[in-house]
Amino acid sequence: MSAICEQVDAALAGSRPALARLLSIAERSGPELLEIEDRISARVGNALVVGVTGPPGAGKSTLINALLPHALKDFDGVGVLAVDPSSPFSDGAILGDRVRMQGGEYGSSVFIRSMASRGELGGLARAASTAMRLMDACGWSLIIIETLGIGQVELDVMNLADTTLVVLNPGWGDTIQANKAGLTEAGDVFVINKADKPGADVTRTDLLESLSLLNREPPPPVCQSTASTGDGVAELWTALRDHQDYLEQSGQLDSARAHKQQLLVRRTITHQLTHEVERLMDSDLATSMLDQSTLGQLDLRQTVDRLLRELARPRG
């Protein structure tokens, strides 16, 4: 048995260090990914996944921390995947979610993992997807994924979730125009956090107005909370549960999961192809063809066709 498979088996048997190690492997998006996916596939599909997104500083981590005690009444284990952006200059990152989300008081029933977005182009979504499936397979029955709702890449991650919670603050409408539409479309449940600050009512009206334009049926609930005191958090948890019940009863959970599976396959193919293209472009063949192309001895179509044929050729 390969080392990876041994790790997976250990993780499936409940080893936290093994799960942690596998999550690192998933983050690197290396060739072991398919091996991991193979080994866990039979065990995946039991967890409910809640995505939490919203602008920076909306209080997402604090809110998740406040949701944990409620969630642990309904689920015996909660996994949290907290995604923060990588620096575009150094590829490094500072991941600060654990400062607000220690989970220590819940002992072994909470597993928190920080993840840097590491560039774009769906790589994040793919790593997050495998990470989520790993946690799922290892028996974490509720998984919460947190990302910044600032761009398409982050919102893409929300496709992994059964229920997406969008966290906003009073005054939201004035500060982030850019991705307002993306956020309102992404959410299944909305919460105006820091509702004790002035402007909560205006924001609520503003949000309800934006949502009414989308004509969604049933209209998504809009909750209010103050995560720092715990006010409104129990009600928010109920709203999240109600949405999950609705998904199950309406059969949407199954169709949504089929859609997710399709996205996963598509992403995996794209990812593999990208690797193959990289390898091809590094080959002697590509180098010599590029030289000819630069000298004008080959036109673009000829070059591309030849290389595509090479890509499709089965390797022995």
- Chain residues that interact with another protein, rule: CB under 8 A: 16-17, 20-21, 23-24, 57, 59, 62, 84, 86-87, 89-96, 98-100, 102-104, 111-114, 116, 194, 196, 226-231
Smaller CB distance to another protein: residue 140 or 190? 140
SS3 state at 55: coil
Structure tokens that stand for 250 in this block: 């309406």
CA distance 185 to 166: 10
Nearest distance in Å: CB 62, another protein: 5
Instruction: Pick the closest to residue 240 from 75, 23, 59 (CA basis).
Output: 75
Nearest distance in Å: CB 126, another protein: 17
Q: How far is CA 293 from CA 69, 281, 286, 287, 302, in A?
A: 63, 14, 10, 10, 9
Smaller CB distance to another protein: residue 91 or 248? 91
CA distance 60 to 56: 8
Nearest distance in Å: CB 43, another protein: 20
Nearest distance in Å: CB 24, another protein: 5
Nearest distance in Å: CB 247, another protein: 29
Smaller CB distance to another protein: residue 45 or 56? 56
Residue 217 region by backbone torsions, left for phi larger than 0, else alpha for psi between -120 and 50, else beta: beta
- Which residues, at least 6 apart from 162, have a Cβ–Cβ distance to it below 8 Å? 48, 49, 50, 244, 247, 253, 256, 257
Smaller CB distance to another protein: residue 117 or 179? 117
Nearest distance in Å: CB 61, another protein: 9
Residue with tokens 């642990």: 72
- Strands of the sheet containing 189-193, edge to edge, are 110-116, 78-84, 142-148, 48-54, 163-168, 189-193, 222-225
- Contact call for residues 83 and 101 (beta carbons, < 8 A): no
Residue 78: how many other CB atoms lie within 10 Å: 25
Nearest distance in Å: CB 181, another protein: 24
